[in-house]
Structure 1
Amino acid sequence: MFEVGKEYHRRSQIHEVHGGQQQGGISTPKNAPYVFLFVSETGGRHGYTDEFKDGVFFYTGAGQVGDMALIGGNRAIAHHQQDSKTLHLFEYTRRGYVRYIGQADCIGYHQEERPDRDGELRQALVFHLDVNSSPPSSSVREARPLYDPADIDRLKRYSLAQLRDAALPKAVSTVEPQTRMRVAYYRAEAIRRYALARAKGCCEGCAQPAPFSSSQGPYLECHHLHRVADGGPDHPENVIALCPNCHRKAHYAKDAVSFNARLVQIAKAAEGAS
């Protein structure tokens, strides 16, 4: 339905086609089996801090003033599986336009103290989302029955091919949330190690050797090619190993958009050669 990484005009290409509220971070179409979630950098001004942590996306619920309640859009997220609805995550790229990050499953939530719109502390709902940011051409494999935490240490001894297999999305929707959290953390670490191993000590942006060596080898940084997914789960085609200078360029340069577009092609070429 939506293509990962593609930009959409929110009103005309999402809501006029599928319905749902055209404002706010949570949209719940009445006559479609979807729940749309939107994130933006401006949300942080109102206590809406949305980010990846160890491979799981932490999404702040709705409610600008006072304690958040599990009603309306918040309930739609928490109960989307029981209601047979799928979650779809987008990030704002410019006024009126959003980029599709991927389909998500809510695997839990917690409450934490955060400021509301007026700066008053309140109890906010923070949902734990397992996001699939795989390119449309990629396949999703079956997961092993259980991911042993010892696998994290074993990653250090994996070959490039083994790291890539560990980083690929796995079908884990039927297992308990605790296991899915471990799988997400495992994949986040696997994809980081895979990108660094694929680079073979050279920046994939400028093709120059890493600027120095650390205790773990040539120093490069893992960059995710979709901004909101930076540091979170992704697919090998969407990650790249960069020197610190190129990494900063990818985020802050005037030509960051065109530079990231070039990095996308570099990553695809690297995957085609692997």
Structure 2
Amino acid sequence: MTERFGASMDLRFDCSFEEFVAFLDERDLSHVELRQGYLDTYPDAPAPEHVRDVSEEYDVTVSYHAPHRDCNLASANETLRAGAVEAVKQSIRTAETAGANAVVVHGGTFRSHYPERVRDANRDAAVRSLRECARLADDVGIPLCVENQRDKDQKKRFTARPERFAALLDDVAAGAPRPSVTLDVGHAKATGVSLADLLDAVGDDVVVAHLHDNDGTTDSHDPLPDFRTIAADLDAAYNVLEMKSLADIDHCLAVPEDRL
């Protein structure tokens, strides 16, 4: 498969899906990732049928980023966990209707200052949740791509560290189709994890790459002008610039100032 480069639709973007696709097309980018935050807040969010029509017109591929804010697949509260699972499943169903190529999902959060039994409950919930989502994704033929997140001082992620991430995928795969991976280079840098170590752990499963930069301490999603060089080592089918503005996408592409 020929690798695709594109960008994600952040909830800050004040443009329609078709306008954004045209913006990417003018810059020879051929993939768009629709984030749930944009779909939840934009006044005229595109229906999946419209996404399919526009993507076919422009010959762009599409991925969906399932909900993650206020949505924790590792919740120990069963009602909240089930709600998070249903929200991700809805993204999978929407992606199927849109003819999308992947669904990105976060693998769950736990608090490091709580007792180990709480962490164990969170991890068990994460595995059960991802298995449910992976089964549906497999049924509809769309890769479910679990993303490496960043660790914070007290808020930890089951996907932040290579060994932790690989173990989670192995446990999910023991009871469901094995998920694929979204490798986020900015999250790795902010956590102090090398891309080489991540690739050693989960590199065979990478389908999507998220490309952005930071100072090594915050998840600031800064422009990444050398994104193609970095992406060359990741071997992802879909390479997504995750920027906070259209101007930042142009900065990544080194577009002349008179076009910004």
- Using structure 1 for the length normalisation, give the TM-score: 0.27
When Rg is computed on C-alpha atoms for both structures, the one with the higher figure is 1
- Using structure 2 for the length normalisation, give the TM-score: 0.28
- Name the structure with the higher helix share: 2
- Name the structure with the higher strand share: 1
